[in-house]
Chain A
């Protein structure tokens, strides 16, 4: 069986000569949640941008459902390191933005305002922002802004959700809360998830499988299975499978950092 989303031995070298990825291979099955963990600057973000079609790898190929990915598509919802909300739009309007851009299915749906409003409302409820529909981004806390960004990434019901260190800029407590919330939302939306992070606990909490990357240029150092049941909670942090997955991932990381 071929995987749903595949990065096939992709290499990316930037114009300034920095080699971000070298023959990196990643296979993600439909409905799976994969986390890519690696030290800072190991090309994790580059990998995600290649998966999203924002950059084209110099060698190798990204394939989605058998089709090569050469440019961004509405099959992918993306959550960045920062919320990237438009400050002049309310939460509601920000979440509706994907319907106003590009061509294809998502834009056609926009013609039916009732469906659109219902979709936005249900997502606001899902991410827990009820009551803040008309709020502007500056009125939101960092965590709430990232919740709004998550709703925006999911509003077009993309089959794939790409997460680029989405909670890296938040405080530890908010981070834990949002990680747990994301796990629930991911289960509710049945998307395929790829998370890039440097937090091992976060990766173990969310993922079915963890791919550990070496420092730059990023290469696969090893893969860790996470045999934890879902739904997950932070209480699981103490059960042996959680601890073991953390330790395996950590030792893989340590080996490479020498």
Chain B
């Protein structure tokens, strides 16, 4: 993952691939035979078209409440978009997912940093953090609703829990990955703890932290929607659940499409932040 990130920053001028490609070196450098260059550029839209076509032809065989055609979904999407409905629900979900992401990231840093630095903290905290990953978050969502009520708090909390782990793991890897030689250098220059933190540890751990944040960003949408399924009156999860209750399958699909687009936007935003922040990592 580290090398993928650094690779992305190395070939900064090569921006033909989208902001959310994984950035493997082979995929970024569009060199090689001509058909390959062509496939690189036209492949993704072509595959998407194929997907839509398949969906369309399959949908012809079923009633709309089981599988509506892509065109029907698109029409409904436009209608919900212009009515302001989608914006309302997306904003509601984001108002849970983004604070959740922020709080989760903050917690990840506050726990990950001592774990990376101190073997004692590692021994004390790591077992709990790993064990907490075994809890299916769909199972604790009802608990959170009982404890925090149907408001935003429970959802924000769930998002934070969901994003916490991948970000923590990446922060730990980032801090531990700092070469001992660089630490020696800072010690030999009489750097204080704070100086070492600001001028060595933070910048050195930044690429991996952002990778964790990128993973967390998409997960936070999932967390928010899962929580919304269980009790709320707004949000994309509510929208999807409402569609399901009314046998309005088109609405369910519109909700899913909106979720995917929103998640991609957050992911892309973090990726762009990565690109502008990490100019020169090896």
Contact = CB atoms under 8 A, between A and B. Distances in A.
Contacts of A52: 188
B187 interface: yes
B195 A101 contact: yes
A87 B185 contact: no
Interface stretch (B22-30, B39-47, B160-168, B176-184): B176-184
A2 interface: no
Contact of B181 (A74, A82, A101): A82
B282 A87 contact: yes
Contact of B190 (A72, A86, A137): A72
A54 to B, nearest CB: 6
B269 to A, nearest CB: 22
A76 interface: yes
Contact of B281 (A71, A81, A87): A87
Interface string A76-116: 10101110101111000000011011111000000000000
Interface residues on B, range: 20 to 34
Contacts of B184: 49, 54, 80, 84
A136 B282 CA distance: 9
A73 interface: yes
B195 A88 contact: no
A145 B277 CA distance: 23
Nearest to B279: A88
A138 interface: yes
Nearest to A136: B280
Among A82, A88, A97, A98, chain B packs the most CB atoms within 10 A around the CB of: A88
A18 to B, nearest CB: 17
A87 B181 CA distance: 13
B189 interface: yes
Nearest to A107: B190
B229 to A, nearest CB: 43
B279 A101 contact: no
B192 interface: yes
B187 A72 contact: yes
A98 B179 contact: no
Given A102-B195, A136-B280, A138-B280, A84 B181 contact: yes
Contacts of A80: 181, 184-185
A86 B206 CA distance: 13
A102 B181 contact: no
B199 interface: yes
Contact of B187 (A54, A74, A103): A54
A201 B192 CA distance: 39
Contacts of A72: 187-190
Given A82-B181, A84-B179, A87-B282, A100 B195 contact: yes
Interface of B: 10, 179, 181-182, 184-192, 195, 199-200, 203-204, 278-282
Interface of A: 49, 52-54, 71-74, 76, 78, 80-82, 84, 86-89, 97-98, 100-104, 136-138
